[in-house]
Structure 1
Amino acid sequence: MTMSFSPQVLLSKVARERCIANIKELPKFALNDEGSKKTYASVLVPLCVVKEEVCLLYTLRSSNLKNHSGQVSFPGGKIDEGETEIDAVLRETHEEIGFNARDVEIWEKMPIIQGRNKEMIIHPIVGVLNNMNVDNLVRSVDEVEDIFTVPMKELCNIENHGHLKLQREKIILPVYTFGKYTIWGITGMITHLFLQCFLPESLYTNDFMRKKYTIGELMPSKI
């Protein structure tokens, strides 16, 4: 592992300040449609250190869930009445993976992103899972099939990059693969936006056009 990817560099005060400044420059990715009823959710974009490597943590949603079953996502869920985006994401993270809220170091809120059904507004929240031990995580058996982490160097490896083209919306979405997992959809888009803010251009180069996926290929099957 090169020094550039080390936790001492990527999680330093300077790196955090650069990341936060970059996040504040991102545009909103939601339509201003005041006439329709919206559902609001927040997800944690969770940085962590596993075996001396900086990683992002993901969950594989249970195949029994009604929506997005069997797909990769970040910890998170709907914002309850009276909750802030951060309150909700800390609660959901504890419920889904058993990580204590007091050990989550919140960095910054990313701009809101609209879900594909145009009724869901998602608030991504960047945070660090301090003192995390993967073996101590406890998944919610009703919601989470699996918990896994992906090192930064794997997310930056262009061999793991591809794309999905949505013909109707004329949008190209990034796709990341890691072993048996495929990260795509809103989670893939949030991952890409975050990496652009978090990593220097010299580290995060991408080549999403190198491989094209279809919806049929990406829709989950039993892993």
Structure 2
Amino acid sequence: MIRPVFEPEVLPIETTGAALPRIAPYRLTPAGLRERFTQRLAWAPEPFETFPERGDPRAAAVLVPLVVRETGLSVLLTQRADHLSDHAGQISFPGGRREPFDRDATATALREAQEEVALDPARVEVLGALPDYLTGTGFRVAPVVGLVHSPFTVQADTLEVAEIFEVPLPFLMNPANHEVRVLRWEGGERRFFAMPYPRSGAGGQYFIWGATAGMLRNFYRFLAA
């Protein structure tokens, strides 16, 4: 199947999650998240909405970095460089494919975050992982969730990352901000999540969509269980 070329930002919004329950404020704190990751509650991730690819998916991992600020938790995200072959220009978590020398998905996520944004693994308190996420570009991604404690610094590897920014966790975990957009082509349909976030000062927005938004939606489902 040929994957269609499209502009996700101009596609129509079909629904939002405004009718879904909100996450309790305590659950969006370091203590609440530590507690939640020790529990084994029944919940179901969102179904994959991807373009099928041939072959086995390649193993990868991302770090979902939750930065501990005095004002609350925020999610550190990157905008990928425009010249990359996979997901060019898109908003993503630090991460990449798993290498043979990586002990596990956590090792991959921490290594990639250090390589892409110079985040010291010693500043990351790993909480656990969400279910693997299968992308349409042929990756099976393990989202590793961790708290990032001060003091820390980040610096973009400009070969891979165009920008580093943060979005408040309560914004991303508010289902009212979860849009479902739909692409129709050649008699088929694809739906995907989007979570646009306004750029401060510069105008415009960070358009968080696709696999990154899908993993954030699964994080919401995990916390809402």
Counterparts of 1:194 and 1:15, CA distance in 2? 11
* Greater helix share, structure number: 1
Q: Which runs of structure 2 are paired with 1:68-107 in the superposition (5 Å)?
A: 68-83=87-102, 84-107=104-127
Q: Distance in 2 between matches of 1:97 and 1:24?
A: 34
Q: Specify which of 165, 169, 176 is matched with residue 148 of structure 1.
A: 165
Q: Please identify, of 169-178 and 155-164, the stretch whose mean Cα deviation from structure 2 is larger.
A: 155-164
Q: TM-score, normalization: structure 1? A: 0.73
Change (3 A) 1:174 1:109: same
TM-superposed deviation, 1:164: 1.8
Give the conservation status (yes or no) of the 8 Å contact 2:43–2:222. no
Percent sequence identity is 27
Report the AA paired with residue 130 of structure 2: M
Q: Give 1:50 shift.
A: 3.4
Normalising by the residue count of structure 2, what TM-score does the alignment of the two structures yield?
0.72
Candidates 131, 135, 138, aligned match of 2:155: 138
Distance 1:158-1:110 versus aligned 2 partners, 3 A rule: closer
One-letter identity of the residue aligned with 1:17: E
Query: Residue 141 of structure 2 corresponds to which residue in structure 1?
Result: 122
CA contact (8 A) 2:45 2:221 kept: no
Q: Which residue of 2 aligns with 1:65?
A: 84
Q: Indicate conservation of the 8 Å contact 1:24/1:110, yes or no.
A: no
Distance of 1:132 and 1:24 partners within structure 2: 36
Change (3 A) 1:156 1:104: closer
Q: Which runs of 5+ in 2 are unaligned?
A: 1-23, 199-204
RMSD: 3.0
How many residues end up aligned between the 2 structures? Answer: 190
Structure 2 partner of 1:214: none
CA distance in 2: counterparts of 1:24 and 1:16, whole angstroms: 17
Give the counterpart of 2:181 among 128, 153, 164: 164
Residues 158/105 of structure 1: CA separation in 2 closer, same or farther (3 Å cut): closer
Deviations 1:167-193 (A, max 9, x none): 477553221011120110010010111
Superposition deviation, residue 158 in structure 1: 6.2
Amino acid at match of 1:41: A
Show structure 1 runs of 5+ residues with no match.
202-223
Seen in structure 2, the aligned counterparts of structure 1 residues 172 and 20 have a Cα distance that, compared at 3 Å, is farther
Alignment of 1:1-223 (within 5 A): 5=25, 10-12=29-31, 14-21=32-39, 25-26=43-44, 36-83=55-102, 84-117=104-137, 119-133=138-152, 136-156=153-173, 160-167=177-184, 170-179=189-198, 180-198=205-223, 200=224
* SS at structure 1 position matched to 2:126: strand
SS at match of 1:68: coil
